Amino acid sequence: MEISKEAIETVKRSHDLKEVVASYGISLKKKGSNYVGLCPFHEEKDPSFTVNPRTNLYHCFGCNAGGDVIGFVSKREGIGFKEAMEKLTDQETIRDQGRAPGNGTQKTPSSLTAPAVPTVNHARLLNRVVSFYHTTFLEDQRAMAYLKGRGITDNALFADFRIGFSNGTLLNTIPDDGDITEALKETGILNAKGHELFYGSVVFPIFNENKDCVGIYGRRITEGETDHLHLPGPRRGVVNFQAAKRSPSIILTESVIDALTLYNAGFKDVIPCWGVNGLTDDHLKLFTDCGTKEAYLCFDRDDAGEQAAARTAGRLKERGIETYVVTLPAMPDRQDKVDINSFFSLTADASRIFAEILHAANPRGVIRQAATHEQKYYEPTPTGFIVKYGERRYELKGITNEGVRLKATIKAARADRRFHLDAVDLNSHSRRLSFAKACAALFAEKEEIITEDMAKLINLAEAFKPEKTDETPQAAISVSDEEGALNFLKSPNLFERILKDFETIGVTGEDANKLMGYLAAVSRKLDDPLSVLIQSRSAAGKSTLQDAVISLVPPEDAVKYTRLTGQALFYKEEESLVHKLLAIEEEHGAKDASYSIRNIQSSKYLSIAATIKDPVSGKLKTEEYKVRGPVALMITTTEADLDYETSNRFITLTIDESKEMTERILEKQREQETLEGLMKKAETDAITKRHHNAQRLLRPLHVINPYAQYLTFPSDTLRARRDHKKYLGLIRAIAYLCQYQREVKTIAARRDNGQSIEYIEVTLDDIGKANGLAAEILGRTLDELSPPSRLLLAMIREMVETRCKALTIEPREYHFTRKDIRDYTRWSDFQVKCHIRQLEDLEYLYSVAGKKGKEYVYELLYAGEGISGTPFIMGLTTVTQLKEKMGFQQLGGQKDEPGGYLEGTRRARGG
């Protein structure tokens, strides 16, 4: 029996929503023109439930529930719309009978006045349980794998039917509350022993028209005593009742799995029975109310299925519904029984054959198969996509897929430019329903049609791969641009060209700093990249150098920040910094992030455990965030004294602040105002483009250093352990940049991984360049010594060389005392003590032994470098020495002979 609109409006007008709400024991307080209280539909401490007496409507800002008085009673009582209407109509009749002549507006108490409010609302509890089971289904893949193994693969179907999984964790999420546990037993979710009824089962909730759960069907995913489980009591509700509202022709199946198999294949107008005797009064009432005209009975091909189809057909015909029995074809491997799921799983092109079977059962039938991803128009956008179904247009932006949550901002628009815009969590049943209801009103369509649209949008949103926020898409390289970039990389004077390009784009002088910055940027592609700290006073040009280096890096590989907060890096996308150049404009702006910077340099990753609130259970849980490296860093600073823990991880570049450099910079600034400067500026775009393409062409090759065992490095300080890695990394970066000038070699694959390794080798020229840069950047000059100390150092070196030559030993094998120095130099003890201290402090001499009461014994570390005034690092093996060592090895002298050349070298390296 249809309820007229007039009757509905009469019930709404005749009931004061505020009084009805209060009759359920909900305390309301006046706030402005509205009344507020604690929401009866979700747990909360601060009132967010609002009743508007002017419109007679309610809305909760916490759970987004809202509606009129009929909807409130329906949701509060867990009953359907019609039952709520009947309840309110009966209440109105009682009130009218209570008004006797002369009694004015006297009212008789009714069921809505002083109701028996249960401690726990069972309808709301069931809704929360199925919501938890759905979340478990998404997180624990076993049930999803079971369904996909049976051919049910549509992710939108999983979301649309709120399919869940009971893996035994429900009790871990509920508070230690006896009332809730008892209510779960009353509903049947827990058995008498307090165990989950549906444990180990994929769960299919059954909803009524008010979108509340009224029943649950469970199917065990492993063999057990009982494969099919239901909540206690009579079967309530109809799965996919929207099909009857949407179409006058429906397909009836014997089981839920069979119905979902057809739904997955595009046959959306399908409704399952509860087994061979499972056509319930709820089914018949639904078909009658919706005006169902015809039904196709697709039961199992066995004796029980055929008998059930005949009985069901008879009951439907009594209601005036035409029936057509669909007989599945026999299958050779399954003579005993054929059901829809096995037919679709084992038959090639099953959808087409099934459609033909339907047509054979009723050639004039209107059952249609909808394409699972059907759309008439699809257009990708940078942050989402636009899709149209008929006249319905949806634009999704800002799609984020975080496992449990699939979020997007959706704009539904009509041709006349009217639209509805909302941020929707597509994995949230309530949010989808709310959005579908608004869109149904916007498009003047049935809500079931919009629900189908939402299912398609979920599929498309899950398949969409958003661009990472920290990346710019890599530009395609044309053939001519690639040729130019390759010529650049193959150039024998590659480093001179790099310096010339820096000069053209406006950075003069600072050759070593420019090359070191460029190599550090290129090293981002290696597993152990270099990091650079540019140090100078304000206005010296450190930012100019940093910006110049960044401008030559492809934009998709560079990330620059002015300031970093303490935990900023921890919450970036996991892969957003891998093989990137991270530039920070001022070290002071990254002080809070120094810990994370040090960790991503040393460990190649960051991880943080944060506490968040579970959206389903409301309980706090720990979520882990990871950010992976490696990453090259480039930071500028004006600080004179830097944190040691941070600074020793960087190669420090100091800007030349001399008067001569200032004059060169001023001259360069003036040149930029001339025609020649304008011409050079015009070349900048071409230069940056060439460098971007060249760096994009650098392949991820390994770099092998065949000279590594013959290299030396000063080992007199603990910091050498990190500085030595920087030195080796510098050699590696130089060789990597020159990869197109080297032979790419391949090592045979190992049996365990089956992958071959491609690599290039370091050359002596690479080591020569690295030594020159290391001396320029990390080195020192003799100018740091006072003239007397410098003279004493020269005399000590002369003494050591003379005596080592006589003894035929290496300088580092010769130890001497202050007396030896006094005897050779004829200096007084006071003079030697005074100036030898500076040589020792600046590490030109190494104190082998010497304490109070003992004789001081020294070793000379200085080998005569820097006499010409050039910077130097003591202890590095020169290219000439490497050639001598390699030549000695090739002559067969690699035996570890006591006192031999190699043995002496090893002792020197060991310090």
Place of tokens 């439907």: 316
The Cα–Cα gap between 414 and 516 comes to 58
The Cα–Cα gap between 736 and 761 comes to 9
The Cα–Cα gap between 138 and 153 comes to 13
3-state helix, strand, coil in the chain (%, to 5): 45, 20, 40
Encoding tokens for residue 785? 């010594």
Query: Residue 535: CB partners within 8 Å, gap ≥ 6?
Result: 542, 636, 637, 638, 639, 642, 652, 653, 654, 655
pLDDT of 366: 64
The Cα–Cα gap between 892 and 900 comes to 13
Distance from first CA to last CA of the chain, Å, rounded? 99
Closest CA to 607 of 625, 621, 594: 625
Asked whether the beta carbons of 133 and 144 are under 8 A apart, the reply is no
Place of tokens 């004796």: 303
Residue 404 DSSP symbol: S
The Cα–Cα gap between 378 and 389 comes to 9
Query: Residue 238: CB partners within 8 Å, gap ≥ 6?
Result: 206, 244, 271, 280, 282, 283, 286
Q: What angle do CA 436, 440, 441 make, to 5 degrees?
A: 125
Other beta carbons within 10 angstroms of residue 496's beta carbon come to 11
The Cα–Cα gap between 8 and 14 comes to 10
What is the pTM (predicted TM-score) of this model?
A: 0.45
Asked whether the beta carbons of 446 and 436 are under 8 A apart, the reply is no
User: What is residue 790's three-state secondary structure?
Assistant: helix
The Cα–Cα gap between 201 and 217 comes to 9
Closest CA to 213 of 204, 200, 226, 202: 204
- Average pLDDT across each block of 10 residues of the chain; the chain has 911 residues. List them in order: 73 85 85 85 82 86 83 82 79 46 38 44 85 88 90 85 91 74 87 88 90 89 77 87 89 93 90 88 91 92 87 92 89 71 85 88 72 58 83 87 75 84 83 87 83 83 64 62 88 89 82 87 88 77 84 87 73 79 74 72 74 57 76 80 66 76 78 76 83 89 85 64 79 90 79 69 88 73 70 88 88 86 88 83 74 70 68 68 62 34 28 28
The Cα–Cα gap between 687 and 507 comes to 13
What is the total residue count of the chain?
911
The packing angle between helices 720-737 and 764-778, to 10°, is: 130
- Taking CB atoms within 8 Å and a gap of at least 24, the contacts of 465-468 are 466/383, 466/384, 466/399, 466/400, 466/401, 467/382, 467/383, 468/573, 468/575, 468/576
Alpha helices, H only, 698-783: 720-737, 764-778
The Cα–Cα gap between 222 and 201 comes to 8
Closest CA to 424 of 442, 437, 406: 406
Closest CA to 439 of 427, 451, 430, 429: 451
Asked whether the beta carbons of 534 and 711 are under 8 A apart, the reply is no
